[in-house]
Structure formats: structure tokens, C-alpha cells
Amino acid sequence: MNRVETVKNYVDCILDKISDSNQKSVSYSHLNGVSLTCTLIALKRNQNVELACIAGMLHDIYTFANNDSYDHAHKGAILANSILQSLKVFSDNEIEIICLAIHNHSSKNIVDDSFCEVLKDGDVLQHALYNPLVNIALEEQNRYDLLKIEFGIN
């Protein structure tokens, strides 16, 4: 089994424990959606596609595992670190790259390193695509506008 599937299986075990069917559906949709949008953006920007896919899959794991979004980016980075360490298939450097992106992903108004930006933009793109008839959050609008330009979307 490859590392992406290993992480997805681990995440599925966490999400399967969510008792509320609507919340479970939202969690799967969001984490898989962000994972896919991160993959697309990483391909476009020549970033590490595998790590971007995994960062997207883990970025909100704390929120869904604990039904708590308070300070979820920072707490999520700690949980992701623990998960990735336990899997014993990632180097310390890879774990640091993924966890830094998770730690920073809620700071949409700050520009971080190129890899961190993949996760931030993947999160914004998933929010926008989930229901295109709903207006994008004000704090995400600028990123979304830049993504549309980057991908040649009017």
C-alpha cells in the first residue's frame, strides 16, 4: 500500500467514529476535496504532490476527530505529527513540511512558503467548489480570485 492510501485508511478509521451522519458526510467531503485540490495545485506549481495530497487529507483532522474547531490548525498540526510518526513511513523532514502547512493553513491573510500556500489555496478552492452558488467567505475572496486567474477561470 502506498503512503497516500495508508494515510487515507487511517483518516477513514477516525471519521468512521463520527456518529452524526451529516457531520460524517461533511468531514469526508471536505478532507477528500481539499486533498484533491491540493494535488491539483501542487501539480500546477511543481510542489510535492504526495505530501500535498496528505496535508490536505489531514489538515482538519483535529476538528473532525474532536468535534472542536477552536485553534484547530495548531492542534491539528500536533495530531497530524502524532499520526504520521505512528505510521513510520515518513521522514522527519516530510512530517515537518506537512505539519507546518497544517499549522499555518488558517492564516489565509499571510503568505507563507510555497508548500504552505498549496494547502491554504486548496482549502479555499474546496470551499468555493463545494457549493458554487454560495458566496465565498470574505477572508478567502482574494485567494479565490487569484486562484481563478492562475487557472484561467473567468
Whichever domain contains 95, its CATH number is: 1.10.3210.10
Range of the domain at 25: 3-150
Instruction: For residue range 17-31, list pLDDT tens digits in order.
Output: 999 999 999 999 999
Number of domains observed in the structure of the chain? 1
Cβ atoms 23, 73 nearer than 8 A: no
Cβ atoms 11, 61 nearer than 8 A: yes
- Reported as a pLDDT band with limits 50, 70 and 90, residue 154 is confident
- pTM of the prediction? 0.96
Instruction: For residue range 131-150, list pLDDT tens digits in order.
Output: 989 999 999 999 999 999 99
Which pLDDT score, from 0 to 100, does residue 1 have? 72
- Reported as a pLDDT band with limits 50, 70 and 90, residue 105 is very high
